[in-house]
Structure 1
Amino acid sequence: MIVDNKCRTILVAPLNWGLGHATRCIPIIKALQDHNYIPIIASDGASLDLLKKEFPYIKALELPSYHIEYAKKAKNFKWKLLKSSPKIIDAVWKEKKLVKKWIEKYAIDGILSDNRLGVLSNEIPSVFITHQLNVMTGNSTWLSSKLHQRIIKKYVECWVPDFEQKPNLAGELSHLENPNFKIKYLGPISRMHKKTTAIKYDLMVILSGPEPQRGLLEEKLKIELQEYKGKVVFISGIVEKEQSKQVMDTTTYYNYMSSRQLEQTFNESELVLCRSGYTTIMDLVKLEKKAFFIPTPGQYEQIYLAEKLDKENLVPYAKQEDFKISDLQKVGRYQGLKSLKSKLDWQELFSVFQT
């Protein structure tokens, strides 16, 4: 390993598919700063907006959008994604060209791509971040996984935010029997920290993910919550220029929260109702929270994770169309998510950029 004192510039580029890819990059960006690296942020849409709010003094660049949308019906999920594939491929080619220009313009020394397929270079160390070594797509899982692994192989390393051995969080998603590329397991990473604080809310609802499913769930939950007896905080997961707050009876609505505010609210909440997105799961593990999951219809990854954690008696779940507010009573019969201790050596991890 070659180490010197040069202050290297690292491009950090999360995918804009929900906010999970962006939020799990937050602790990585902070660690880069702590270890004498200069991060540059690159993304699009809500993910870029969120990171610009978190790091207003870091240079932020805009990448082309993949235009990812969910179908209104779960059975149409793969068809909708297939229809979007020409736009995704076009965006990947455009971001490849942009990255090539940016490397020279901003003297970039390394790349961290969180599932952005065109953010890489043969000239500088490029690392891929994903918890999906296998990509769940139903009866086409084998094909989608092989295609994804072929892309990952182009990078010098693949960082997986999970444990290598059991117990782990993502199961088959994040583990391969005979990988043909270099994998480093980071353990769960989260921007959140557990605090000892008084409980202020009986229920915290936090939404995320692309439309229209985010909005459909929001409409459903607002109706269901009319039957809930308790104090609720409801975060819609819409990143806008200004934060909005509205109080209606015993429910307080926010459009979005900053990381610090969100961390405080998590700690002040008894129970969390949310999607079974992997970044959310890592946050809940760090906070040791009890939760109830409603996986996004048609998204096989979230369904797999919800089923896995339900079988392990950790977190119950329900299909979106079946959910009733009374289902929350099931949580008491489950163990909840507990912190799994891991120590990450950031200096050793970042040594890939010192070569």
Structure 2
Amino acid sequence: MQNGKRILVAPLNWGLGHATRCIPIIHALLDYGHQPYIASDGVALQLLQKEFPDLPSFELSSYKITYAEKGKNFKWKMIWDSPKVLKAMNKEKKEVKALVKSLNLDGIISDNRLGVYSKKVPCVFITHQLNVLSGNTTWFSSKMHQKIIKKFKACWVPDVDGKPNLTGKLGHLKKSKLNIHYLGPLSRFTKHNLPQKNDLMVLLSGPEPQRTLLEEKLLEELKYYNGQVLFVKGKIQKKQKRRTLQYQNATVEVVNFMQSKELENALNESTLVLCRSGYTTVMDLAKLEKKAFFIPTPGQYEQVYLAKRFQKNGVVPFANQDDFKIKDLELCNEFSGLTQYDTTIDYATLFEAFSKVKENSEPTSTSLST
């Protein structure tokens, strides 16, 4: 495109994953001469403001998503919270309408924010969940999600089309009328061959209270570890804070958060990563070709599915949060670890979505990675 477009990028504030996978897209928009605007709430907005301090940013109404303390109550907590989510969606629709007008926007990229949509400009939806797993209500939740996606001009799926792939049934439909574009895995990181400083890196994220519950459990378990540990809590705060815990056989450096470049180096310098099985984390670890151990968020069907799938395929082992013991990390010796997909994202073609809308265009499923 010859003329730069004014594009709103709005990730869901559900942990840090939706925000972090928007980072390479924002960089690409800038590289192609476009003007990105950032919109989100909570830690997702804070993270992007730290990464792009010179870009205009706006706060949207919060969905106020929290997890149940017990995994078995996850779905019912989501159902219970759905009225306030719908209320927030209606508010953000009005907020986006105002932004489209005041900023004279040319397009919108929504990463799983269901209310970030406008009929006035081309809108793209990013998701790896074409199927939304929810136990015995999976068919219904998937159809509802697909109905919302259908409103958008295109759906960008950060995975490869075909096999092998990272998402499995989450990101692949047998039949679809959606305008799906497979980007290839999205990651803000680059693999570097650096000296290994950490035997283990713990990387936390996700909504409360489960993030804190896992933090407390792992700090207790690490008393029985033998080696050098870097523990990144995933708590976005004004200032970075560090402290060192010295156990009998383990030295644990605890840091509240890291920005992209520092985190990239830390991951490259770590032999093993202990983390959630959130999909953005999976993409990052695949890009860096890391060995890992997963502890899925209790009750979150997507993370449990991914963890089970990678263990079944001999890639990464996992344990349920309540059952995890530090000795379980020894299982990683029997697994291959994640490997990188050799993909190049064709951003020039992707960004054509924000050119003039073509009349009577038929939806297709395409892959934009080579």
TM-score, with length taken from structure 2: 0.95
1:223 aligned residue: 220
Once the two structures are superposed, residues 124-157 of structure 1 have per-residue CA deviations (whole angstroms, 9 ceiling, x without a partner) of 1000000000000011100000000000000000
What is the SS of the residue equivalent to 1:273? Answer: strand
Per-residue deviation, residues 160-205 of structure 1 (Å, max 9, x unmatched): 0001110000000001111111000001010010001100000000
Gapped runs of 5+ residues in structure 2? 357-370
**Hey, what does 1:190 align to over in structure 2?**
187
Partner of 1:316: 317
Aligned residue-pair number:
352
Match of 1:246 in 2: 243
Contact 2:160/2:183 (<8 A) preserved: yes
Alignment of 1:1-355 (within 5 A): 3=1, 5-249=2-246, 250-355=251-356
Q: In the alignment, residue 326 of structure 1 is paired with which amino acid?
A: K
Write out per-residue CA displacement over residues 100-144 of structure 1, whole angstroms, 9 at most, x where no aligned residue.
111110111000000000101111100000000000001110000
Deviating 4+ runs (over 3 angstroms): none
- The residue type paired with residue 347 of structure 2 is W
Matches of 1:28 and 1:123, distance apart in 2: 22
Deviations 1:61-102 (A, max 9, x none): 000000101001111111111111011000100010011111
Contiguous gaps of at least 5 residues in structure 1: none
Q: Secondary structure at the match of 2:348?
A: helix
Percentage of matched positions with identical amino acids: 57
Q: Is the 8 A contact 2:75 2:134 kept in 1?
A: yes
- How many Å separate the matches in 1 of 2:37 and 2:107? 10
Q: Quick one: distance in 2 between partners of 1:338 and 1:149?
A: 30
Q: After TM superposition, give the deviation of residue 266 of structure 1 in Å.
A: 0.1
The amino acid across from 1:308 in the alignment is R
Q: Is 227-236 or 5-14 further displaced after alignment?
A: 5-14
Residues 4 and 33 of structure 2 are in contact (CA less than 8 Å); yes or no, is this contact kept in structure 1?
yes
**Root-mean-square deviation (Å):** 0.6
One-letter amino acid matched to 1:302: Q
AA at the equivalent of 1:325:
I
- Once residues 282 and 96 of structure 2 are traced to their aligned partners in structure 1, the CA distance between those partners, rounded to angstroms, is 31
- The whole-number CA distance in structure 2 between the counterparts of 1:219 and 1:248 is 14
CA distance in 2, matches of 1:100, 1:47: 21
Give the whole-Å Cα distance in 2 for the aligned partners of 1:54 and 1:185. 26
Alpha-carbon offset, residue 208 of structure 1: 0.5
How far apart, CA to CA, are the structure 1 residues paired with 2:265 and 2:10?
Answer: 27
1:221-253, Cα deviation, whole Å (9 max, x unpaired): 000000000000000010001110101121100
The alignment partner of 2:329 has SS state of helix
Tell me the distance in 1 between the aligned counterparts of 2:169 and 2:281. 18
Q: Distance in 1 between matches of 2:70 and 2:14?
A: 18
Output the CA distance in 1 between the equivalents of 2:134 and 2:242.
Answer: 38
Distance in 2 separating the partners of 1:191 and 1:220: 29
Matched residue of 1:94: which SS?
A: helix
Q: What letter matches 1:311 in structure 2? A: K
Amino acid corresponding to residue 153 of structure 1 in structure 2: K
Q: Distance in 1 between matches of 2:314 and 2:92?
A: 42
